[in-house]
Structure 1
Amino acid sequence: MHEAADEGDPSLIVVFDLAGTVEDFRKAAAKVPGFDYLLEVDEEKSQPDSLFHLEEHSVAVNKPVPRTLHVVMSDAAAARQLVSLFKQWEENPRVTLRTGFNPLKQVFAQLRNVRPWSIQDRVRETGLLEEWSEDLEAAGPYRSSKRVEIELWFRSDADLRIRAEGHVRRVVSASGGQVVSSTIIAEASYHALLADIPIQAVESVVKDGAESLAVLTTDAVMFVSPYRPMSFETTSAFEPQELPTPTEADTSPPRVALLDGLPIANHPHLAGKVIVDDPDDLAQEYPISARAHGTAMASLIIRGDLRDGSQPIAGRIYVRPILTPHEFGDREVAKSDLLFPDLLHRSIKRIVDGDDGSPAAAPSVRVINLSIGDDTKVFVNRMSPAARVIDWLSVNYNVLIIVSAGNHVRLPIEIPASATSSAETLHSAARQATYASARHRGMLSPAESINAISVGALHQDSSGAQAPDTVLDATAEGAPALYSAVGLGFRGSVKPDLYMSAGRAFYSRPPQDGNSVRIKPGQPGNEGPGHLVAGPPHSGLKTGVAYTHGSSNAAALATRTAASIFSTLEDPSQVGDPFPWPDAQYHPVLVKALLVHSARWGINKDRLIAELGPLHETLRARRNLTKLLGYGSVDSNRAMSALTNRALIVGAGTLRAGDRQRFEFPLPADLRSSTAWRRLTVTLAWLTPIEPSSRKYRGVKLTLKDPDTNIIGASASQADYWPSLNGTVQQHVLDGSAGVNFGENGVIRLDVDAHSDAIKDSTPVRFALVTSLEVAPSTSVNVFDQVRAGLRIQASARTAAQVRTR
């Protein structure tokens, strides 16, 4: 057996349908040679908890969620033999299996079934059959075809890939369908076709079952997903009362790229700050009135919420349009003739590496914003192709990609009708309703990417809009937005990483005609709420602005903060001996670490515990809060700032598996014997290579040993420790006021260790470590100066040691 589940001949795949918990399966598998690797299967998505459970009569029950494991056998005969052995045991659990196979009975007792990869596996997670059924019921057979993504089993052998694709093309053609495009991205183990299936075949599947469509029974096919281009409704703009003062033309190379809709480059709020690269010539069919989403995202990155009157970021941004106007003109959609992973790959490669023999379009770019999510691929436990592509591109091109977590505006929020009587009861009821359905509110692809920073939405803006009686303000300002996607991520990692202001959304006030009501977010008007952004003019206006909300906005503002951090890292005036910034190659991962480092749970911790009630009065409270808050809400002002009462130290380097690097954070002498409140925050971030064919997926794991809580007189708070071990960011936050007594020149030792995870060679990995220590502002301890003095002592000691060794 191998630990891969996505590699090789599909006839080698055996599916294990678990009957019990993963822990029970682990115990049984541990006793059988050859099943060792299955013991590493992550337990987070299998054990019942308050976010992930089965329901009986709408009540959560303490049963494990059914889990499926995919095992790759050494050869097809072994796969058939394993299925046969299970059938023998199923017919008679007392049967004596062939010599050497009897221990398998202990494993079989933990399984509902052992079977080959089948039709149900190709469509179960994709929602294909449900979507086809709903579409036919809603609209009838009025379309000539339905577009699908056909993902093939990835073969490392190019000849096998060619033969497999040829066979699937013939199967599609024989059903009356047509292949629109295909792509192979070997580094992400992705091979797929975009195809149109005739509506008659779709009707047959809905009526007679999936077996009636040959492509769903083809061995070379791994998954078939509905293809519905991501879309964004056009916002309603109005004429601004004032316009910004024109700025001088900026010729500096861009550090930020935006993949989105085509913006209005000469809009007064964007003029001189946008470089549009339109290789597909989309502008020819993209009227000004339709250029809403790209204009809004560019506006937020460059100027933030226009109500704040903030200064534009330094430099220009590069924009590659990947959306097009919908045929009915009321929305923008992703290009429909390319698979989304292919579109991402082409776009990012063009930016930093070039394409079709042309040089890189913007090689200076180091941060890429993707405020787009695929609502046909809600994360459950498998990395989507787009997320795999982003993970590979991030490390291959050394760029930080910032992705919106996604919105769930179509999912109803059902609350008791009586809950609308007061803000307190409304907020609590709405939060409990979204919490209860959290398993349906996972992140939209590709937000589960482990190398990217994923950003969730906060119900927050500067509009000052008050909710009239006709609508409901369904959650507290600054709380996670009710529509925002929630975590956790792959193998239970912390996702979304961050939350940022996304604009407030008011909810329609429903009629009181029963015991319960359903609320949904409405569109903002000319007075808000939401972020005020640049927008396309309508009805003869010369220019336009609009109010918007969503996790797209949050990701754009995170990108704006990242751009500001880059400006500081590249500012020569900010560098002074003996403390130079790390080399520029580490800036992307430093920005990643600094963004997370500036995040805090803050008031939302107590707010959510109060709204969710007794459910959180358990030992799992931090785990559940981590799913809802990630590492917390970003305070952009703290990302690169230090004060008298706060010292911030950054470090970076490269490690290979087996390496260790030690950092020493000097402690302020005045903290000795002090009982003043203090907080130590340590953030480790890295960009990892990936191995898509492995269950572990993450190529290299870095770990940061727990800081000594005794020497700092504080204890762990904020995000739960265990989920932070499973991604590419690990953060420790320690708060406290206990008295401590360390010696002269006391330090906190921080050891960063590199371990092989899915990749067993010594692949180098860039990492960043950010550490800060702060005390209450009212405290007389000058943390900044004393830590700086300690660093100078360390620098002098290193210099003296170098002189002695010469």
Structure 2
Amino acid sequence: MPHDPEKPLLRLNNPRDVARRASGGGGGQARRFDRNAQVQAHGPVFRQLSNVLSRQDAALQLRADANSLAPERLLVFEVTGSIQNFANAVARISGLEFAGEEELEADELDKNPEFYLLVPQLGALREIVSLWEGWGRNGTVPRNYTPWRDLFQQLRAVRPWGPADRVSPRNRDYFRAIVDGAPDNELFRIEIELVFRGSEAASRSAEDDIAARIAETGGQIIHSSRRAAFAYHAILADVSAVEIRRIADLDLHSLAGADPIASIVPQSVGTPIETADRLGLDAARPLPANPEPIAAIFDAVPVQAHPLLDDRLTIDDPDDLEARAVGTRVHGTAMASLVLHGDLNEQPSPVSRRVYFRPVMYAPALGDELFDSDKLVIDVIVEAVMRMRAEGGTQVIVVNLSLGDRTKPFAGKISTWARALDYLAFTYGILFLVSAGNTGDGITVADYADAAAFQAADPADQASSIFRGLDALKADRRLLAPADSVNALTIGAWHRDSSQEVFRGASPFPPYADREMPNLSSRLGPGLRRGTKPEALFAGGRQPVRLDPVAAPPVLISHPNPSRYWGLKVAAPPENGAMGLHFTIGTSAATALATHTAHRIFDALETAYPQLIGPMPLAQRAALLKALLVHCASWRDAETFIRPIIDPTTTLHHEHWRREVCRHLGYGFVDPEDAIACAADRATMWATGTLPVEGSLAFDIPIPATLAASANIREVRATLAWFTPIRPGHLAYRAVKLKIDSLQPDSLEIAGVGTSTSQPSNSQSESGTIVHRRWRDARIGTIANGASIPLQVQREKDQGTPIDEAIPFGLAVTIEMPGAAQIYDQVRANIQIQPRAFVRVQG
């Protein structure tokens, strides 16, 4: 049944403290090598190091050889699998700094290889050699150094961090392209991330060293930032073309060979949006009644005087980007319009409050809107959040970031921008909504010889071939930073909008006829450690495709231009002095629509439960919105289309094929109206709280008697969301994991449901900071009057050093049986805290 605004979300009854359930076991054993084989394989490296260390000028000798293990040089110890308590064992060696750990790609020998990064002083190098020599002689290490023995047994390689580690192949190609044909002394702006050192003195020394190297080649530092809270130390610098060429060639004597540097990357570049098909203003919209924002937008300078934005935004522009925004202000204007009003093709859905707007980009006279080129964008975002909290946005709990860095697609390692968002989200209790990013790269449809053969095919076969071509390119369509953030929600674009006008032409055309699917241009997951990304798909406009007229096999290209036939209607910058509207498409728009939905959820909760929402801590408010935004997401049977293509013989393990479906769909498509209110046949309940170390709570979910009256399809779903503290540089980056335990067999019998495969697998769902579980079937429940089932949420054992803080969470639970009109009323009858009575406003 359609949602009913007179049926608000219901507050779950208070939980009970319960004993934790045992968690699943860990992974398999890592491969270990015979000691004699290890001495033969790695002995020469340690013998050479030992020989040099015996000299008086050992430090100078080691530093002179770029390939040696040297003092203050980042070292890589590559191992077959995790070494338990290794970081603690490192701390026992004076002068040895643990600089991080990362996963390596699995191979046929090792399922979970890793590497550890260490920065030694001279004395620490001597102690490592001593440990190796002792283990090599008799297989033992001193007491409390057992992890070093395990490291030696699992060691695959030991080497210094080198030029190829600092500059990825993708970035080498980028650097070659930007300096192609440029004179040697022309300057280009790049970002240099330094190896993070805990000591401020060591950090200053490293930065001074790199500044001197840059100056020697004719360049200069423009901006630098060190943020210990998330282990970030970076430099924005102008570097000469000749030096860029040497970096791209991995010259050991260039910056690519400089010991203090962790990585060299292009300067951050934002992602533009396309807009088109101008219309005049069609109707006025009401002004928000409350001046206190709970939502913010970080974006390009908008057209503040637009009738749809005027007196609705609290603008905070400390860098005066307004003065530099002399071009067409497209991006920020469109995002503000969507956050405030949603798609203007829809019925009005005003938000109750003004929206805080922080410009972080501006429109130059020509070209796309830009970040401030004189600042590291990560530092800009951190400063913006800190300023917002101190001044005009003290109550903000949602920040819209319809931005992405198109030079930094996700490649398995968390981006520094994502690290910043993760820190800010936990520290300030903020839900960041981040766009997954778009790509306009063509898709080869290899099943057909040419465009004519494709056009002559059956539409269903065309759709399957298109998806097969897309799936073949999935590695090249990964999320753009900061969409890999663990604490943020990442939003993809659903091929959907509310345009009622019908396009009569033959091209462009929809890629998937009559199927719920993402836009072909929407970037794909997964996220860190194969976590679910993007989490949710919101309407991003029905983006059609067109055929490359000459390619064979045919190549499909996402049509870049929105129109009244496909796209979301938004406020447009003035043209010839007149304000108006136009259309946009993509993940930026979908993210702004998600922020609009989050605000509407908050408004509905505040209206129904002012006594609960008013005193609720900001972090719990934000976590609740995070849970409710994803809670009604579903695959809408899209997996029945995708699975036969990725698993044509139906032989893939259910974990595997669901992971591949999840890459495209996340938790699924979200209809905003289902997130805001209930229906007669659907009751959604919510709760917030905190979980201490290894805490566990059980919520009793009231089960309506109607579930025992028929064998119709029914569903129970639960969504748990939280913000985790982070451990930068560690594989256990997400320091805190919460989970929803499986329903017990008696609970499944009472509700008449069973586990469902139409969702991401439990292991993938539990890799992030939002867990979404669905139970579905069509069995008659075994329900006594007033029955309930316990839903247990618990905090797993913290990874690494325990986090003392209690972790705030939000929880949403729904019971639904389509067509059963008594569901909501029967559940509500068992709820202790009732929502405030709905008051219908007469028009």
Question: TM-score band, normalised by the shorter chain?
Answer: 0.7 to 0.9
Q: Which amino acid aligns with 1:734?
A: W
- Does structure 2 conserve the Cα–Cα contact (< 8 Å) formed by 1:657 and 1:700? no
User: How far apart are residue 210 of structure 1 and its match?
Assistant: 2.7
User: How far apart are residue 195 of structure 1 and its match?
Assistant: 0.5
Counterpart residue number, 1:667: 703
Counterpart residue number, 1:735: 776
Asked if 1:152 corresponds to 2:194, the answer is yes
Name the CA distance, whole Å, in 2 between partners of 1:567 and 1:368.
Answer: 16
Alignment match of 1:589 (pick from 581, 598, 623): 623
Asked if 1:129 corresponds to 2:172, the answer is yes
Asked if 1:391 corresponds to 2:431, the answer is no
TM-score normalised over the length of structure 2: 0.80
Counterpart residue number, 1:193: 235
- When structure 1 is superposed on structure 2, of 367-376 and 584-593 the one drifting more is 584-593
> SS where residue 298 of structure 1 aligns?
helix
- Does structure 2 conserve the Cα–Cα contact (< 8 Å) formed by 1:467 and 1:473? no
Q: Which amino acid aligns with 1:657?
A: V
After superposition, the Cα gap between the structure-2 partners of 1:487 and 1:33, relative to the gap in structure 1 and judged at 3 Å, is closer
Name the CA distance, whole Å, in 1 between partners of 2:336 and 2:86.
Answer: 56
Counterpart residue number, 1:351: 388
> SS where residue 232 of structure 1 aligns?
coil
1:313-335 superposed Cα distances (whole Å, 9 cap, x missing partner): 222212111112245x1311222
Equivalent positions of 1:25-64 (< 5 A) are: 25=81, 46-47=105-106
User: How far apart are residue 218 of structure 1 and its match?
Assistant: 1.7
After superposition, the Cα gap between the structure-2 partners of 1:446 and 1:468, relative to the gap in structure 1 and judged at 3 Å, is same
> SS where residue 331 of structure 1 aligns?
coil
- Does structure 2 conserve the Cα–Cα contact (< 8 Å) formed by 1:431 and 1:612? no
Q: Which amino acid aligns with 1:433?
A: G
Asked if 1:304 corresponds to 2:342, the answer is yes
> SS where residue 406 of structure 2 aligns?
strand
User: How far apart are residue 269 of structure 1 and its match?
Assistant: 2.4
After superposition, the Cα gap between the structure-2 partners of 1:115 and 1:576, relative to the gap in structure 1 and judged at 3 Å, is closer
1:601-627 superposed Cα distances (whole Å, 9 cap, x missing partner): 113222322554617652222122122
Counterpart residue number, 1:119: 163
Name the CA distance, whole Å, in 1 between partners of 2:649 and 2:125.
Answer: 44
Counterpart residue number, 1:419: 454
Asked if 1:284 corresponds to 2:323, the answer is yes
- Does structure 2 conserve the Cα–Cα contact (< 8 Å) formed by 1:655 and 1:765? yes
- Structure 2 unaligned runs (5+)? 1-69, 92-97, 836-843
Asked if 1:575 corresponds to 2:612, the answer is no
Counterpart residue number, 1:439: 475
User: How far apart are residue 793 of structure 1 and its match?
Assistant: 11
> SS where residue 449 of structure 1 aligns?
coil
Counterpart residue number, 1:801: none
Asked if 1:502 corresponds to 2:563, the answer is no
Counterpart residue number, 1:457: 493
After superposition, the Cα gap between the structure-2 partners of 1:312 and 1:246, relative to the gap in structure 1 and judged at 3 Å, is closer
- Does structure 1 conserve the Cα–Cα contact (< 8 Å) formed by 2:548 and 2:557? no
Counterpart residue number, 1:261: 300
- Does structure 2 conserve the Cα–Cα contact (< 8 Å) formed by 1:83 and 1:115? no
Alignment match of 2:530 (pick from 485, 492, 495): 492
Counterpart residue number, 1:15: 76
Name the CA distance, whole Å, in 2 between partners of 1:504 and 1:466.
Answer: 12
> SS where residue 810 of structure 2 aligns?
strand
- Does structure 2 conserve the Cα–Cα contact (< 8 Å) formed by 1:367 and 1:400? yes
- Does structure 2 conserve the Cα–Cα contact (< 8 Å) formed by 1:14 and 1:79? no
- Does structure 2 conserve the Cα–Cα contact (< 8 Å) formed by 1:480 and 1:499? yes
- Does structure 1 conserve the Cα–Cα contact (< 8 Å) formed by 2:749 and 2:782? no
Counterpart residue number, 1:800: none
* Total equivalences in the alignment: 739
Asked if 1:238 corresponds to 2:269, the answer is no
Q: Which amino acid aligns with 1:134?
A: A
After superposition, the Cα gap between the structure-2 partners of 1:226 and 1:97, relative to the gap in structure 1 and judged at 3 Å, is farther
Counterpart residue number, 2:398: 367
Counterpart residue number, 2:140: 100
Equivalent positions of 1:339-738 (< 5 A) are: 339-353=376-390, 360-410=391-441, 413=444, 415=446, 416=448, 417=450, 418-422=453-457, 423-463=459-499, 464-466=501-503, 468-476=505-513, 478-512=516-550, 514=552, 516-524=553-561, 526-538=563-575, 540=576, 542-571=578-607, 574-575=608-609, 583-585=616-618, 586-612=620-646, 614=648, 618-619=652-653, 620-672=656-708, 674-708=710-744, 709-717=748-756, 718-738=759-779
User: How far apart are residue 100 of structure 1 and its match?
Assistant: 2.4
TM-align CA RMSD: 3.5
Name the CA distance, whole Å, in 1 between partners of 2:818 and 2:742.
Answer: 23
Counterpart residue number, 1:72: 118
> SS where residue 456 of structure 1 aligns?
strand
Name the CA distance, whole Å, in 1 between partners of 2:300 and 2:610.
Answer: 41
Name the CA distance, whole Å, in 1 between partners of 2:362 and 2:230.
Answer: 26
1:638-683 superposed Cα distances (whole Å, 9 cap, x missing partner): 1132222222211111122122222111222343474222100111
User: How far apart are residue 278 of structure 1 and its match?
Assistant: 1.7
Counterpart residue number, 1:178: 220
- Structure 1 unaligned runs (5+)? 1-8, 49-61, 89-94, 354-359, 796-806
Name the CA distance, whole Å, in 2 between partners of 1:610 and 1:190.
Answer: 44
> SS where residue 731 of structure 1 aligns?
strand
- Does structure 2 conserve the Cα–Cα contact (< 8 Å) formed by 1:16 and 1:113? yes
Name the CA distance, whole Å, in 1 between partners of 2:147 and 2:801.
Answer: 30
- Does structure 2 conserve the Cα–Cα contact (< 8 Å) formed by 1:15 and 1:68? no
- Does structure 2 conserve the Cα–Cα contact (< 8 Å) formed by 1:569 and 1:587? no
1:542-577 superposed Cα distances (whole Å, 9 cap, x missing partner): 123222111101100000000001111221xx1399
Counterpart residue number, 2:52: none
Name the CA distance, whole Å, in 2 between partners of 1:671 and 1:507.
Answer: 45
> SS where residue 210 of structure 1 aligns?
coil
- Does structure 1 conserve the Cα–Cα contact (< 8 Å) formed by 2:683 and 2:827? yes
After superposition, the Cα gap between the structure-2 partners of 1:413 and 1:177, relative to the gap in structure 1 and judged at 3 Å, is farther
User: How far apart are residue 460 of structure 1 and its match?
Assistant: 1.6
Name the CA distance, whole Å, in 1 between partners of 2:125 and 2:777.
Answer: 56
Q: Which amino acid aligns with 1:379?
A: F
Name the CA distance, whole Å, in 2 between partners of 1:42 and 1:382.
Answer: 8
Name the CA distance, whole Å, in 1 between partners of 2:511 and 2:816.
Answer: 35
1:61-113 superposed Cα distances (whole Å, 9 cap, x missing partner): x8989965234378666668879999x9xxxxxx9655427999997797653
> SS where residue 554 of structure 2 aligns?
strand
User: How far apart are residue 159 of structure 1 and its match?
Assistant: 1.9
Name the CA distance, whole Å, in 2 between partners of 1:749 and 1:338.
Answer: 51
After superposition, the Cα gap between the structure-2 partners of 1:436 and 1:47, relative to the gap in structure 1 and judged at 3 Å, is farther
Name the CA distance, whole Å, in 2 between partners of 1:76 and 1:414.
Answer: 58
Higher relative contact order (CA 8 A, sep 6+): 2
Q: Which amino acid aligns with 2:779?
A: A
Asked if 1:294 corresponds to 2:329, the answer is no
1:337-358 superposed Cα distances (whole Å, 9 cap, x missing partner): 11111011111111112xxxxx
1:580-637 superposed Cα distances (whole Å, 9 cap, x missing partner): 8982532111100101112111132223225546176522221221222111111211
Name the CA distance, whole Å, in 2 between partners of 1:15 and 1:587.
Answer: 42
Name the CA distance, whole Å, in 1 between partners of 2:686 and 2:637.
Answer: 27
- Does structure 1 conserve the Cα–Cα contact (< 8 Å) formed by 2:273 and 2:585? no
1:455-490 superposed Cα distances (whole Å, 9 cap, x missing partner): 011122223453733434323463111221211111
- Does structure 2 conserve the Cα–Cα contact (< 8 Å) formed by 1:234 and 1:330? no
